[in-house]
Amino acid sequence: MALRIGIILGSTRPGRRGESIASWALATARSHGGADFALIDLADHGLGNLDEGGNPTHQKYEHAHTRDWSEVIDGFDGFVFVVPEYNHSFPGALKNALDYVYREWNDKAAGIVSYGGWAAGVRAAEALRLVLAELQVATVRAQPAIDLHAAFTTGAFAPPEGLEAAVRDMLDQVIAWTEALRGVREAKAKVAANA
């Protein structure tokens, strides 16, 4: 079965530049190949502020939007986060979406494409890595970063020189780790079935 990798657009802000970046990243990933890629836009999932009373590790969700989100995340083997930097970190909407579920993230790989002002979103990516580690998501080393000043000189997104190669390198790592971690999940499922 082909690997499924979700490209998560980590901003819900009106007028966000991430839409054009995520669309470009999806097209680049699809031309790269090696997995089935799909866009996961947080704005399409209506999660709102975390409203589940129970601990997500138990997966006893009260609300339909949480069950739907659980199914979406569980259906992917790995992820690429397209994340902006807001105030030296990543957006609250993304943190909220991460917190809604837990086991659905476990033992999967992820890459990060950051974007922002002069720091190109690298501080957001580093903050995101800490949260993903707690969710048992293995983040790859390659980390493309987009300086918005260079990428939007004409008002529309124009990938700066070297960005496509950087994204392809990151995808190579994500695909390799995703394949390896699929084996980890399968081994854990066998142990659980025999317990």
* Domain CATH for 153: 3.40.50.360
Q: CA-to-CA distance for 123 and 88, rounded, in angstroms? A: 5
Q: What is the DSSP letter of 77?
A: S
Range of the domain at 94: 4-194
Query: What are the residues whose beta carbons fall under 8 Å from the beta carbon of 158, sequence distance 6 or more?
Result: 151, 152
- The count of domains in the chain is 1
SS3 at position 167: helix
Burial (CB < 10 A; 0-12, 13-18, 19+), residue 160, is middle
Would you state the pLDDT for residue 113? 98
Interval 4-56: pLDDT, tens: 999 999 999 999 999 999 999 999 999 999 999 999 999 999 999 999 999 99
SS3 at position 74: helix
Q: What is the DSSP letter of 90?
A: -
Is the pTM for the entire model greater than 0.85? yes
Interval 119-161: pLDDT, tens: 999 999 999 999 999 999 999 999 999 999 999 999 999 999 9
Bridge partners (DSSP) of residue 110 are 79, 139
pLDDT band at 195 (very low <50, low <70, confident <90, very high): confident
Q: What is the mean pLDDT of residues 64-70?
A: 97
Would you state the pLDDT for residue 148? 96
Considering Cα of 148, then 144, then 127, then 99, what sign does the dihedral take?
positive
